[in-house]
Amino acid sequence: MKPIEVFKALSNESRLEILNWLKDPEQHFTPHEGIDMRKVGVCVSQVTEKLNMTQSTASQYLSILHRAGLIQTERLGKFTYYKRDEDAIREIVEYLKQEI
């Protein structure tokens, strides 16, 4: 984990919102083609619709969160799905408890 990258990723309200939505995807997204959103995640089109932004912006936000290690990706067919990396999030919480 690179704390600076994590904090940069979390410095945007929309990216924070995405992480919040991914915490409980069934509450925030309509299922995509029968995919178990808890196990697999949500696709960029679902995030795009929820954000009411362009797909390129949503993809960029997801990419930043992924590079920071806060979300995981899984490719199924032509779609990439995104879900929270709960272990990484716990790690950053522990980091904050110890360092600040």
Over the stretch 53-74, which tens digit does the pLDDT of each residue have?
Answer: 999 999 999 999 999 999 999 9
The H-or-E segment that residue 43 falls in is strand 42-43
Distance from CA of residue 68 to its chain's centroid?
A: 10
* Structural domain total, the chain: 1
Cα–Cα dist 3/24, whole Å: 24
Instruction: Name the band, by pLDDT with cuts 50, 70 and 90, for residue 32.
Output: confident
CATH of the domain at 24: 1.10.10.10
| Residue 34, pLDDT score | 86
| Residue 1, pLDDT score | 72
The position carrying tokens 């806060």 is 70
Is the predicted pLDDT of residue 100 greater than 80, yes or no? no
Is the predicted pLDDT of residue 97 greater than 80, yes or no? yes
Q: Answer whether 52's CB lies under 8 Å from 46's CB.
A: no
Q: Which residue has the higher pLDDT, 6 or 3?
A: 6
Helices assigned H by DSSP within 1-100: 3-9, 13-23, 25-28, 44-51, 55-67, 86-99
Q: Which residues pair with 79 in a beta bridge?
A: 76
Residue 80's domain comprises 3-99
| Residue 44, pLDDT score | 94
| Residue 80, pLDDT score | 94
Sheet with strand 42-43: strands edge to edge: 42-43, 79-84, 71-76
| Residue 78, pLDDT score | 92
The neighbour count for residue 63, using CB atoms within 10 Å, is 15
